[in-house]
Amino acid sequence: MASQLLSLLHLSSPSLPIGAFAYSQGLESAIDIGWVDDEDALKRWLQEVMTHSLANLDLPLIQRLYSTWQEQASERVQYWQQVTLANRESAELVTEEQRLGATFSRLLVSLDLAPEAGFESPTYLSMYAFAAQKMAIPMQEALSGWLWSWLENQVMVACKTIPLGQTPAQRILLQLNPTITECVEKGMAVEDDEIGMTLPALAMVSAWHEQQYSRLFRS
């Protein structure tokens, strides 16, 4: 439906005023130390993170939060929020999840879309899942939109820090479209006891970023 598509574009837009553009999730440090230094290296990095981290952690968590919001199961929402924070492997990643969640929550209040029950520490994934189900965006489309938004933000980080030109950036976005579809399918099939991420390099660069001498991004 057109209304659902427009709602998805709204949630996935980089202009959504929650501040996601201020975070690199460790990519800035990966670029600073030379792990990611050109178009090919960036594409490999993003594909690995999407396939082995986001598809096993973020996407299954959004799926469960979406369902528990629909069921109005507040205790389960809190549980999955705690699982989310427990899987953020650096102080910066925890802070990012909490700050984006708090900003997203305030935005939903201003749009008269906030959940009836208040939460002390709403997470970003939880607020995105709530907004998606509130706007009646189908699950698969909601996951695709979230992953596209993450990918676009990461590519924009690379444009500012490698630096990467606009044409290579668009080429990467186009080439990784099939990976988005594959990751969404994979993420929707993950069982509860399989949720988690296993990318030590990602955790390392995120932690190193906390002490990076000069940086453009918060994480």
Other beta carbons less than 10 A from residue 213's beta carbon: 5
Looking at per-residue pLDDT, the higher value among 27 and 120 belongs to 27
Other beta carbons less than 10 A from residue 67's beta carbon: 16
Which pLDDT band, with edges at 50, 70 and 90, does 136 fall under? Answer: very high
Would you give the DSSP letter of residue 20? G
Read off the pLDDT of each residue in 176-180 and give the average, rounded to a whole number. Answer: 97
Which pLDDT band, with edges at 50, 70 and 90, does 219 fall under? Answer: low
pLDDT given at position 138: 94
pLDDT given at position 218: 64
| pLDDT over 90 at 34, yes or no | yes
| pLDDT over 70 at 131, yes or no | yes
pLDDT given at position 18: 85
| pLDDT over 70 at 133, yes or no | yes
CA 139 to CA 209: how far, in whole Å?
33
| pLDDT over 70 at 21, yes or no | yes
| pLDDT over 90 at 212, yes or no | no
pLDDT digits (tens, 9 = 90+) for 152-177: 999 999 999 999 999 999 999 999 99
Question: In the chain, what are the domain boundaries?
Answer: 25-209
Distances (CA, A) of 180 to 51, 72, 77, 177: 9, 29, 25, 5
| pLDDT over 80 at 140, yes or no | yes
Asked if residues 68 and 78 have their Cβ atoms less than 8 Å apart, the reply is no
| pLDDT over 90 at 69, yes or no | yes
CATH architecture of the domain with residue range 25-209:
Orthogonal Bundle (1.10)
Which pLDDT band, with edges at 50, 70 and 90, does 117 fall under? Answer: low
Read off the pLDDT of each residue in 88-99 and give the average, rounded to a whole number. Answer: 92
Asked if residues 28 and 211 have their Cβ atoms less than 8 Å apart, the reply is no
Residue percentage of the chain with pLDDT more than 90: 68
Read off the pLDDT of each residue in 170-197 and give the average, rounded to a whole number. Answer: 95
Which pLDDT band, with edges at 50, 70 and 90, does 16 fall under? Answer: confident
